């Protein structure tokens, strides 16, 4: 499954970022999420499907070429609105629409862009298994 279609099978509604890790040694970026659900309904809707939920799931972006943090300089620490990809000449532009809540409880919307080769899901209960479908 390509990255664009794979990301459409992930549900992030009411979920939040617990860690955002730039791993330059392994050329990857990790988005840690309190819980990730899968969308398996042919309608493309989540429909409260929980059979494949992953607690403390990690979305791993690989083959990183560039990372563009939000111009505010803030890091994600709250809700994830959407994660999607566009393909350009065999390389993906991954877009993470998320938010940051500051010490005054004000929410700031963020957009992070990652240029890379691929993406997979990691379940901490099965750390050696790359979920790509």
Model confidence pLDDT, tens digit, residues 77-106: 999 999 999 999 999 999 999 999 999 999
Work out the pLDDT band at 67, boundaries 50, 70, 90: very high
CA distances from 46 to 56, 88, 89, 97, 120 (A): 19, 28, 31, 18, 19
Tell me what the mean pLDDT of segment 30-57 comes to: 92
pLDDT of residue 44: 84
**For residue 104, how many C-alpha atoms fall within 13 Å in the half-sphere facing its CB?**
2
Q: Are 11 and 36 in contact (CB under 8 A)?
A: yes
**For position 41, what pLDDT does the model report?**
87
Give every CB contact of residue 26 below 8 A, 6+ residues apart in sequence. none
| CA atoms within 13 A of residue 95's CA, in its CB half-sphere | 11
pLDDT at 20 (0 to 100)? 97
pLDDT, average across residues 102-120: 98
Grade residue 45 by pLDDT with cuts at 50, 70 and 90. Answer: confident
- pTM reported for the whole predicted model: 0.94
How high is the pLDDT of residue 49? Answer: 87
CB atoms within 10 A of CB 36: 25
Instruction: State the chain's mean pLDDT as an integer.
Output: 95
**What are the Cα distances from residue 129, in Å, to 29, 31, 110?**
17, 17, 30
Q: What DSSP element (H or E) covers 19? A: strand 17-23
């Amino acid at each position: 499954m390509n990255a664009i279609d794979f990301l459409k099978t992930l549900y992030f509604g009411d979920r939040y970022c617990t860690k955002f890790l730039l791993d330059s040694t392994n050329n990857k970026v990790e988005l840690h999420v309190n819980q990730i659900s899968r969308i398996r309904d042919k309608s493309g809707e989540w429909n409260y499907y929980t059979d494949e939920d992953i607690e403390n799931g990690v979305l791993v972006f690989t083959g990183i070429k560039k990372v563009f943090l939000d111009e505010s300089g803030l890091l994600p620490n709250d809700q994830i609105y959407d994660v999607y990809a566009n393909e350009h000449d065999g390389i993906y532009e991954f877009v993470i629409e998320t938010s940051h809540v500051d010490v005054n409880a004000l929410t700031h919307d963020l957009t992070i862009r990652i240029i890379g080769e691929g993406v997979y899901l990691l379940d901490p209960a099965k750390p050696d298994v790359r979920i790509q479908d």
